[in-house]
Chains A and B, each alone.
Chain A
Amino acid sequence: MRPHLRAVPLTDHKQRETILHIDRLSKVFHLNSGYLPVLDKISFEAKSGDLICILGKSGCGKSTLLKIIAGFLSPTSGKVVLNEKPVITPGPDRCVIFQEDVLFPWLTVQENIAFGLKGKKQDKNVRAEEVARFLALVGLSEFKDYLPRELSGGMKQRVALARVLILQPQVLLMDEPFASLDAQSREEMQNLLLSLWKKLSHTILFVTHDVNEAVVLADRILLMDKNPGRIREEVRVDLPRPRDREGSAFLNVCKRLNRALRD
């Protein structure tokens, strides 16, 4: 069995090891008009298999935080450590699902998913099997020869998911990936993500401004404040899964978070 397929018991926090350390991360942007502090001493840790939502209003620096963890931006101070190695550049151990569609428009669904495997030395048949397996996991087997421009927004994000999951990243970084989808597709994608997470048990950092989405998905919600962006509190969501989006316990958590976001 492949290591990433091993079922990690999700309730057992003690046995899972901490893999990601975010240590007093600050970021200041230099603008023409002066300095703009965007992030202020952000610290948290993630255990293997955690699903953490970073929730905040637009402009609180949550996307910047994700970009730093991804290695696209470097922090002004502080550091990101993954598996005891400091993060400096982007790499396949931390894969990003972007908000907009960044599939390669000249490659078919299948070729997009196989893209990251190309550099690896691997038997052709094994690779084809892998691609077929991930196509099936995101429910796109019938669409393998389509080009991205022929797909709906939800399907494009499924391809985006499959092409990074196939690389078996340690951490999946998701930057409001479902924000531009319609309500139905968004709910579908949330359910898909949860079922994939259950099967593959990746560590996921999920940035969103949508309270409902955060409560549906997360074990832990990091609530962010802006000017400068900082973590205001951490909310643990212990609702049983699958979560009932209309249940009173669910709505209570939402209500509380909404209130916290407002002031």
Chain B
Amino acid sequence: MVPADKKTVNTAKWFLPWVIPFLLFCLWWTVSATGLMPAYLLPSPLSTIRAGYAYIFGQPGEGPYAGRFLTDAGASLLRVGCGFALAVAVGLPLGILSGRLWILRKLMSTSVNALRAVPGITWLPLALVWFGIGMKTTIFLVALAAFFPVYLNAAAGAGQVNPLLLQAGAMMGVRRLRGTFAILLPGAMSHLMTGLRLGLGISWAYLVLGELTGVPNGLGAVIMDARMLGRIDMIVVGIIIIAAIGRVSDQLLQGGMRFCFKSARRMG
């Protein structure tokens, strides 16, 4: 192999992630411009961009969806935020503890592994009965779905920390509490990170599920609403916006963890 110089590599690292999105966009353009797929099945890129622009920057009242973006995104972010935070608050400590304590691990194993096999959508009817349509149902679904990756990865991470590191800590006079924060968590960091990222990703999936049930606002609600009104361009706008916010939130999560923890910076 020819050794590539650093500049070329950096450029490649920057543009490679955008190659496939760009090709997909070209494909979309071609298919719709040549009439291979009619506009009522697939809107043209141009009309989609127009719809998206109106949705995000338009004034309320200019059209059915104009200017609704901030309200919808805000509502969705709040739901994802609450659900994911709940999943982390329960899943992370519980996962770390069961990674270290076999009693807790055994106690949890049947329940976690059985419930994990139940698709999140199965909970929807029950959640609707319990919490009704809206905020609570969505948060419940998001929290439930995000719990499993967070819990399982935290348990795996805490379980695989080299016991010699903990012994080394003990001989240097490190007590349990400090050992947990100064050795156990950093040692498990790459697993914790994986769990959090998977959990946040799945949070967005279940957000849309929760919002498809007829809540008045939110990104999922817009998609569902647009389907009923035959505004297929708005469906595509909704999909793209969710993809974009999902990607950005993942990067914010990673960046935030790197900013806060040495171990995430150096081991991640």
- The residues of A with any CB-CB pair to B shorter than 8 Å are 70-72, 89-92, 94-96, 98, 100, 102, 104-107, 115-116, 118-119, 147, 163-164, 167
Contacts and interface: CB of A to CB of B under 8 A. Distances in A.
B175 to A, nearest CB: 8
A90 B266 contact: no
8 contacts: A89-B170, A90-B170, A90-B171, A102-B168, A106-B262, A116-B173, A116-B174, A164-B172
Given A91-B173, A106-B186, A96 B168 contact: yes
Contacts of A107: 262
B165 interface: yes
A106 B173 contact: no
Interface of B: 162, 164-165, 167-168, 170-175, 178, 182-183, 186-187, 189, 262-263, 266-267
Given A104-B186, A106-B266, A107-B262, A116 B172 contact: yes
Contacts of B183: 104
Question: What is the predominant secondary structure among interface residues of chain B facing chain A?
Answer: helix
B160 to A, nearest CB: 13
A116 B173 CA distance: 7
Contacts of A118: 178, 182
B174 A119 contact: yes
A46 to B, nearest CB: 18
A72 B165 CA distance: 13
Contact of B172 (A71, A92, A98, A106): A92
Nearest to A115: B172
Contacts of B172: 92, 95, 115-116, 163-164, 167
Contacts of A70: 171
B171 A91 contact: yes
Contacts of A116: 172-174
A78 B162 CA distance: 30
B165 A104 contact: yes
A95 B165 CA distance: 13
Contact of A98 (B168, B182, B267): B168
Given A106-B262, A106-B267, A167 B173 contact: yes
B168 A92 contact: no
Contacts of B182: 115, 118
Contacts of A105: 266-267
B262 A98 contact: no
Given A92-B172, A104-B186, A106-B262, 13 more contacts: A72-B167, A91-B170, A94-B171, A102-B162, A102-B164, A102-B167, A104-B168, A104-B187, A106-B189, A115-B174, A116-B174, A119-B175, A163-B172
A156 to B, nearest CB: 13
B38 to A, nearest CB: 56
A89 B266 CA distance: 32
B205 to A, nearest CB: 32
B168 A147 contact: no
Nearest to B190: A106
A119 B178 contact: yes
B173 A147 contact: no
A102 B170 CA distance: 13
A71 B168 CA distance: 11
Contacts of A104: 165, 168, 183, 186-187
Contacts of B189: 106
A39 B267 CA distance: 40
